[in-house]
């Protein structure tokens, strides 16, 4: 294994280890010493790749968002464009009940990184996916043509807010069903 490959493997191990710990107990309850001990690495390895714990957390949020977008794209890509928005929204809401997405992506992400930085990460993955799905639905004639970027921002905002409701709920399953019904009516209202 080359030096570059070892470095990439070390970085990936730190992100994966921190992801598990942050998902389980939250950002505030996990220290860098615990992360490096769980990864079997040194503090020097952590600080070689990340400026501090917050920088590592940012990489973990990116990882969670990237995986989530890929999973949703696979799920929604299996159906026709007319149904992909609804299938993707439901897949996102289901993921919001899982600890890594719930804790890292929706609770600690905005709190630790701040809304602007968190929103930029969310937009990097979610906005492109929503925009591409909307464009495909417009191209297929499933929804009326309209400014796709503006619609994607508005729809992503609604979906993200619905996900936050699920993540912060005392009864995530019931809240997921409630917000899924609202999103379904919203998305079906787009059909032309």
CATH code: domain of residue 110: 1.10.357.10
Which element (helix H / strand E) includes 175? helix 172-188
| 11, pLDDT greater than 70 | yes
Residues forming beta bridges with residue 191, ordered by sequence position? 143
Domain that holds residue 176: 52-188
pLDDT at 146 > cutoff 90: yes
Query: In the chain, how many domains are there?
Result: 1
Q: Is the residue at 1 inside a domain?
A: no
The residue-averaged pLDDT of 101-112 equals 94
In a domain, 23, yes or no: no
Contact present, 66 and 123 (Cβ < 8 Å)? no
Whether residue 178 lies inside any domain: the answer is yes
Tell me, yes or no, whether 107 lies in a domain.
Answer: yes
Alpha carbon distance 84, 136 (integer Å): 9
pLDDT at 192 over 70: no
Confidence of residue 57 (pLDDT cuts 50, 70, 90): very high
In a domain? residue 20: no
| Calpha distance 192→124 (Å, rounded) | 28
* pLDDT tops 90 at residue 133: yes
Cα–Cα distance between 186 and 157 in angstroms, integer? 12
């Amino acid at each position: 294994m080359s030096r570059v490959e070892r470095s990439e493997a070390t970085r990936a191990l730190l992100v994966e280890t921190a992801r598990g710990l942050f998902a389980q107990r939250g950002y505030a309850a996990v220290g860098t010493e615990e992360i490096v001990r769980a990864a079997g690495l040194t503090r020097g390895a952590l600080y070689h790749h990340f400026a501090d714990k917050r920088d590592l957390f940012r990489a973990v949020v990116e990882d969670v968002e990237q995986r989530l977008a890929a999973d949703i794209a696979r799920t929604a890509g299996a159906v026709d464009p007319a149904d992909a928005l609804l299938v993707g929204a439901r897949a996102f809401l289901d993921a919001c009940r899982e600890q890594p997405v719930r804790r890292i992506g929706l609770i600690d992400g905005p709190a630790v990184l701040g809304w602007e930085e968190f929103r930029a990460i969310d937009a990097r993955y979610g906005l492109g996916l929503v925009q591409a799905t909307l464009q495909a639905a417009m191209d297929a004639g499933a929804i009326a043509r309209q400014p796709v970027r503006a619609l994607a921002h508005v729809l992503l905002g609604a979906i993200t807010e619905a996900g936050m409701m699920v993540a912060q709920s005392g009864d995530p399953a019931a809240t997921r069903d409630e917000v899924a019904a609202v999103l379904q009516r919203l998305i079906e209202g787009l059909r032309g």
